[in-house]
Structure 1
Amino acid sequence: MSRLQELNEARTAATHVIARIDNAIASLDSASSWGFFDLLGGGVFSSFIKREKIKDANSDIRGLSASLQVLNKELEDVHMHLPQEISNTMTDTMFDIWFDNIFTDVRVQGEIKESLRKLKDFRMSVIEIIAQLDAEIRALT
């Protein structure tokens, strides 16, 4: 397979990863909004909705893992590597919904914000890889 074809495949895989990251960010942004409402005393309903949004984000992150495996394989073909991994630390659904209290709400909101920051940082890393791939593709065409 030609170098140009390998680079194009890696770029395609990277754009799929960006789309997955964007979905996870959107889910976490929504969870964060509901979390803020929950902090203001939203009660069980807002905790439940927030947890549904976190569940959506976790699903997006699991889907992202599959996309990252494809991207890693394609990057190995062109001798490039991803700089970091994404961690998933959002738990405590039962405590957050059934034992709804300000302490749990504040901690969960902090976890959401930290996960958002990590996803956005990771997104920038993938964008940098796409830029490197694009530069090599331009050099070959």
Structure 2
Amino acid sequence: MGNSIQERQMELTMRRNERNRVIRRLDGAEAQLKDAIQLRDRLQQQLSKEQQDVIKLGKFSFANKWKEWSGKWDVQMEKEINEVAEAELKYNEAAKTVTDLEADIARLREQANHVEFAYVEEDWADFIKEKETWIRQNDTDANRTLQKIADDRVRVRSMIREINEAYEAGEKALRALDKALDKLGNAEGLSMWDTFLGGGLIVSALKYSEMDGSDDLVHRAQRALRHYETELMDVQNIVTESFKVNQNDIFTFTDIFFDNIFSDWMVHSRISDAKSKLNAVLQDVRRVQTQLGRKRDESLEELRRLDEQERTIIES
């Protein structure tokens, strides 16, 4: 088959694949945003309710006075404050996710409207007509074989590109997880000091500061993991193997730390639990990265064989 037609087909196929991928991601992000907004709004209502409970408990009433005299008021207030803190962190996490998805959608819409995609289907239709004419005029066994090689080369190069993008996303996820684990490690060390060695107010303050810092880092890791899974879905669209990170180990940070936030032992236990779960995700990502690397090597070898096969036909 003529080199110009091969090159034209490859260029158009890559453009169409990229356009379809962007549209697929845009559709997925819009569906996620709809769910995320509903969750954020529901958590906002829950936060408002918990805040009202604290306000009510703080107001004067004979019932509240009786609780105060009987020693129950402090216990109830601590419980209500815990519930507000939990609701606030969950709402903040949901709000961050909405913001992330809105930014992703804006970026994807910009990509989908890029000039290179404007007339890709019209260009493809024109090319098919051109190719059909060429095949009718040059339909030999050698040309059909060369056409098959050209088609396979497009498929393999698309696969390699998708694998490379997924692998890069995986490396970013690993770096984000490492940073989150380092921060949690600092919090765990301070928590151990605070829980078992009587660290005092300064150590407690440092511990909660490290926990606040890890909140943002874990959120970044979650965002990196979402992007990684999107890239993995693109890879799985063109290969038969399954590349998947265990969803059961991808957790919401705020679920780890609250039930009894003012109990040092509970906080220490939950920091350790958070580290354990993050480590499980980290190992899962590393496993998938190894799979991707192996598949990329196989694809590069297949591309080399196709080039050799084409060279043999042309030179024979």
Shared fold by TM > 0.5?
yes
Choose which of 169, 179, 182 in structure 2 pairs with 1:23. Answer: 179
1:90 — aligned with what? 257
Structure 2: runs of 5 or more not aligned? 1-13, 15-157, 237-242, 301-316
Assess if the C-alpha contact under 8 Å between 2:245 and 2:281 holds in 1.
no
1:111 — aligned with what? 270
Percent of aligned pairs sharing the same letter: 25
Choose which of 280, 287, 302 in structure 2 pairs with 1:121. Answer: 280
Deviation (angstroms), 1:68:
1.4
Deviation (angstroms), 1:92:
6.8
How many residues align structurally?
133
Larger % of helix: which? 2
Deviation (angstroms), 1:91:
3.6
2:123 — aligned with what? none
1:60 lines up with 2:217 in the alignment:
yes
Deviation (angstroms), 1:72:
1.3
Alpha-carbon distance in 2 for matches of 1:90, 1:56 = 13
**Which amino acid counterpart does residue 114 of structure 1 have in structure 2?**
D
More displaced, 119-128 or 58-67? 58-67
Structure 1: runs of 5 or more not aligned? 97-103
Alpha-carbon distance in 1 for matches of 2:290, 2:252 = 24
| TM-score, structure 2 as length reference | 0.41
Assess if the C-alpha contact under 8 Å between 2:159 and 2:235 holds in 1.
yes
Alpha-carbon distance in 2 for matches of 1:119, 1:56 = 16
1:74 — aligned with what? 231
Alpha-carbon distance in 2 for matches of 1:69, 1:32 = 26
The Cα offsets for residues 106-126 of structure 1, whole Å up to 9 and x where unpaired, read as 110000001001111110000
**Which amino acid counterpart does residue 209 of structure 2 have in structure 1?**
E
Alpha-carbon distance in 2 for matches of 1:37, 1:74 = 41
The Cα offsets for residues 29-83 of structure 1, whole Å up to 9 and x where unpaired, read as 0001100110111111111100111111111111112111211110000113321
Choose which of 11, 34, 38 in structure 1 pairs with 2:194. Answer: 38
1:101 — aligned with what? none
1:139 — aligned with what? 298
**Which amino acid counterpart does residue 45 of structure 1 have in structure 2?**
I
Assess if the C-alpha contact under 8 Å between 2:163 and 2:235 holds in 1.
yes
Assess if the C-alpha contact under 8 Å between 1:54 and 1:90 holds in 2.
no
Assess if the C-alpha contact under 8 Å between 1:86 and 1:122 holds in 2.
no
Assess if the C-alpha contact under 8 Å between 2:173 and 2:225 holds in 1.
yes
| TM-score, structure 1 as length reference | 0.88
Alpha-carbon distance in 1 for matches of 2:192, 2:222 = 28
Query: How well do the aligned residues superpose, as a CA RMSD in angstroms?
Result: 1.5
Q: Specify the structure having the higher radius of gyration (Cα).
A: 2
Assess if the C-alpha contact under 8 Å between 1:13 and 1:71 holds in 2.
yes
2:93 — aligned with what? none
2:130 — aligned with what? none
